[in-house]
């Protein structure tokens, strides 16, 4: 499989904006609250991103058929696949979850750009003006309190 950054999901998601990954990369007090609410230990509350192999939090990621498919094809993401958009990716894109609705356009962008460039763009997109990262459904920056451009309703 081609080497890639762990924040680049096989399906075209930017895992760097996922709350689970953010909690495992940055110190965030809410990590401990969510972990306690789920009744999990710190070892069970681990995620290093799609291609890291550390996907113990969300079964949708841990048991993802797209990860299996790209691995079997020897590619890093669906952007490298001639069959995209396949029915599985189309269904995922259209499942009603706002952060999934970008995967096909993300895969198109990945075809046009080098993955490193796309990842830099995504990193900028998912950071507040103050430099603090925010996640798909964050409403305001935990650093400065400003409203951020995420998938939350206006």
CA distance linking residue 121 with residue 131, whole number of Å: 14
Is residue 100 assigned to a domain?
yes
Percent pLDDT > 70 in the chain is 82
Q: What percent of the residues of the chain are helix, what percent strand, and what percent coil, each to the nearest 5?
A: 45, 5, 50
Average model confidence (pLDDT) for the chain?
85
DSSP code at position 140: B
User: Cα-flanking dihedrals φ and ψ of residue 5, to 5°?
Assistant: -75, 140
Is residue 148 assigned to a domain?
no
pLDDT in tens, the chain (154 residues): 333 478 899 999 999 898 877 776 665 666 667 667 777 666 666 777 887 777 666 778 888 899 999 999 999 999 999 999 999 999 999 999 999 999 999 999 999 999 999 999 999 999 999 999 899 999 999 889 999 999 876 5
72 close to 3: Cβ distance less than 8 angstroms: no
How many domains is the chain built from?
A: 1
Domain residues for the domain of 91 are 15-125
Q: What pTM does this model have?
A: 0.83
Q: Kindly state the tokens that stand for 105.
A: 């356009």
Name the H helices within 1-154. 19-25, 29-38, 59-62, 65-73, 87-93, 103-112, 115-125
Is residue 53 assigned to a domain?
yes
Is residue 133 assigned to a domain?
no
User: Cα-flanking dihedrals φ and ψ of residue 38, to 5°?
Assistant: -80, -15
CA distance linking residue 57 with residue 49, whole number of Å: 11
Is residue 135 assigned to a domain?
no
Cis bond upstream, residue 101 (ω within 30): no
Is residue 147 assigned to a domain?
no
Is residue 20 assigned to a domain?
yes
Is residue 118 assigned to a domain?
yes
Give the C-alpha distances (Å, rounded to integers) separating 111 from 14, 72, 92: 15, 20, 19
């Amino acid at each position: 499989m081609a080497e890639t950054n762990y924040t680049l999901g096989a399906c075209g998601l930017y895992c760097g904006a996922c709350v689970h990954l953010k909690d495992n990369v940055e110190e965030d007090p809410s990590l401990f609250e969510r972990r306690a609410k789920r009744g999990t230990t710190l070892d069970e509350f681990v995620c290093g991103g799609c291609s890291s192999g550390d996907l113990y939090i969300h079964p949708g990621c841990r048991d993802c058929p797209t990860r299996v498919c790209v691995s079997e094809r020897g590619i890093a993401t669906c952007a490298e696949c001639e069959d995209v958009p396949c029915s599985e990716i189309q269904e995922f894109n259209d499942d009603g979850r706002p952060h999934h609705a970008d995967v096909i356009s993300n895969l198109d962008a990945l075809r046009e750009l080098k993955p490193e460039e796309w990842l830099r763009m995504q990193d900028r997109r998912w950071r507040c003006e103050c430099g603090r990262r925010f996640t798909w459904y964050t409403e305001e920056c935990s650093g400065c309190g400003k409203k951020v451009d995420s998938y939350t309703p206006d």
